[in-house]
Structure 1
């Protein structure tokens, strides 16, 4: 009898562990189509918005609405790739007054949790590191569409967009006279439309 009970307990434990293992598996990985993805930002100079982008970035997105526990995101952006259509301004932004690109060549984002808000809207919780500062952030992700690729058999396309705002002063981007927000605002608006794909 004791032996039977032990066997049952072990069987239940194995089943529970197996179920947890399945739930904890990574969601499907989507590849970033860099040709149809852009990392854009804008920030006020006095009263007018100055726009720019980072042209060198990389990342992975594991995402499945049915497996949010296994969904995760990991992205890096190369600071030297900043482009505001003004070479003098770009050089200044790379300097110690702002990004200190020689010391901190990349910024990083690593997710900690995905949360569903609706069938097309999700929140990505994570850690954003710029320079030597790491902060908790929540990025809203909106799904703009999903379909089979009409020219690539067996491939699925996913469109998402991230629109959010961060405070540059929390990351020490802008030191000395440039820490003040009278000339350069503190709120940086971020717009990242992404096209991703994976095999079915």
Structure 2
């Protein structure tokens, strides 16, 4: 009888330990995977021409977004932007930007950002730290962003919707975007301001 009680107690302890371990493991295994609703999202940029800011956007992009504020350890962002999707509302300028003078899209067709970690910024926002690759140059890059909100989608059953806004800047010459005379910054500025407005959905 005593041995039976001992065995039963040990089995109960083992079960509880296994259940607790499974709960912790599942919590850290996966951050929420989100899909981008492109109809309500945009990747925009601004750069000066002489003194005046000129706006542009990228019509095409793909992204893997795994993000959970409670599970930053497993959160990741991977964005690929085809240079061919650049749109500054001027076809001649867009073609020039894709040429060897700037992006050289024929040889390096994509811009890519891959995060290595996502951390809190201490002010309620987040920073995706990783690497940005443009042309043949890869550099460390930080993308600050804020989570605008999360809610059940009122128009799609079993779906949650979230909003993310990110803003950053980079220097085009750091990535060789502008060769020869176009490396000069008197006409085309060096600083590029980037803004991402992303509406995300996930099944629940």
Q: Is the shorter-chain TM-score for this pair beyond 0.5, marking a shared fold?
A: yes
Q: Secondary structure at the match of 2:189?
A: coil
Counterpart Cα distance in 1 of 2:99 and 2:202: 39
Per the alignment, residue 32 of structure 1 pairs with 36
Per the alignment, residue 83 of structure 2 pairs with 79
Post-superposition shift, 1:21? Answer: 4.9
CA deviation digits over 1:54-80, x for unaligned, max 9? 101000110111110010011100100
Structure of higher CA gyration radius: 2
Structure 2 length normalisation: TM-score? 0.86
Counterpart Cα distance in 1 of 2:170 and 2:47: 10
Per the alignment, residue 104 of structure 2 pairs with 100
Whether 1:110 and 2:114 are equivalent positions in the alignment is yes
Whether 1:127 and 2:140 are equivalent positions in the alignment is no
Tell me which moved more, 57-66 or 109-118: 109-118
Residues 21 and 146 (structure 1 numbering): CA distance in 2 closer, same or farther, change over 3 Å? Answer: closer
Post-superposition shift, 1:106? Answer: 0.7
CA deviation digits over 1:30-87, x for unaligned, max 9? 1111111111001001100111011010001101111100100111001001000001
Alignment RMSD (CA, Å): 2.0
Q: Gapped runs of 5+ residues in structure 2?
A: 1-13
* Runs (4+) off by over 2 Å: 17-24, 117-120
Per the alignment, residue 148 of structure 2 pairs with 144
Residues 148 and 49 (structure 1 numbering): CA distance in 2 closer, same or farther, change over 3 Å? Answer: same
Counterpart Cα distance in 2 of 1:48 and 1:161: 24
Contact 1:23–1:69 under 8 Å retained in 2: no
Whether 1:45 and 2:49 are equivalent positions in the alignment is yes
Q: Gapped runs of 5+ residues in structure 1?
A: 1-10
Counterpart Cα distance in 1 of 2:123 and 2:170: 25
Per the alignment, residue 159 of structure 1 pairs with 163
